[in-house]
Amino acid sequence: MSKPHALIATPVMGYIRKGVEDAFETHALYEAEDREAFLNEIADKVEAICFGGHGMMIDDAFMARFPKLKIISNFGVGYDNVDAKAALARGVIVTNTPEVLTEEVADTALGLLLMTARELGQAEQWLRAGKWANTGDYRLTPATLRDRSVGIVGLGRIGKAIARRCEAFGLPISYFGRRKQSGVSYPFYDDINALAADVDTLIIVTPATPETTNMINAQTLQNLGTRGILINIARGAVIDETALINAIKNKEIFAAGLDVMWNEPKINTELMELENTVLLPHVGSASVYTREGMGQLVIDNLLAYKARTAPPTPVAETPFSGW
């Protein structure tokens, strides 16, 4: 029996590629010298797309090239590079990889918060530069977690995992979201600027959507105040980066810790030059253990299509109702 055809649109882990190749006739777009000729040759065969989540946009025009397309299996919990509404209109299921990365990303968020508040990266560089021996102790850090309150922007799976960790540190929690969640005791805010005014630490976990683009703006940062620490573990597009740079330069907030940035990996040089920032290269879920779990879920979603069974993790915009 012939295998269905799958397009691997962007570079993926070897683990994923092998799993897809075992079950599908695969076509790697990112290896094609002439992308247009390559797509024209295979377009009427492709039923599935495997997608790394970065480097390109799977929009309606791209989907329209594949008349047999039924599933887009996305590597990552975020799927802002896929037009899910267009997929729904075309009868295409979009899947992602939630849950398997929740704990890893939450761990990274707390590590980033500790690094930012206690200047742990700067202290290490002080030691490595020989300053401890030659100049003396690193300064007493003006910030600590001992007297802070945390506002979480986006209390989904990852947001709740971060909240549990913050509670273990003795930090009071509030949250902002589209609606108040049942069974959640943390104070709820439907106005992000009001939340920023009432806490001194914001942790951003919300998905990137047209509605959330630049939602953390100059007013939000001003409300956060001069003691404010901003942590972003979500997507760079959620923060107005120019406003953030200005707020840090002008000491309107104390510091920022970012695992994600606009136009990554080509980072704004002004952001790179700021001393009171901690910048990580989008490593929130980047352990072998977690990435292999994510990869297996990408494969499992594709295998579900091949077997004509329900995919494990369709996104909310494209609920499964049959193939």
**Catalytic amino acids?**
235, 264, 282
DSSP string, 172-186: -EEEE-SSPPTT--S
206 C-beta neighbours (distance < 10 Å), count? 24
Give the integer Cα–Cα distance in Å for 273 and 134.
Answer: 25
CB atoms within 10 A of CB 146: 9
Determine if the peptide bond prior to 187 is cis (ω within 30°).
Answer: no
Radius of gyration of the chain (CA): 22
Among candidates 247, 249, 196, which has minimal Cα distance to 220?
Answer: 196
Token representation of residue 297: 């879920």
Bridge partners, residue 204, by sequence: 153, 232
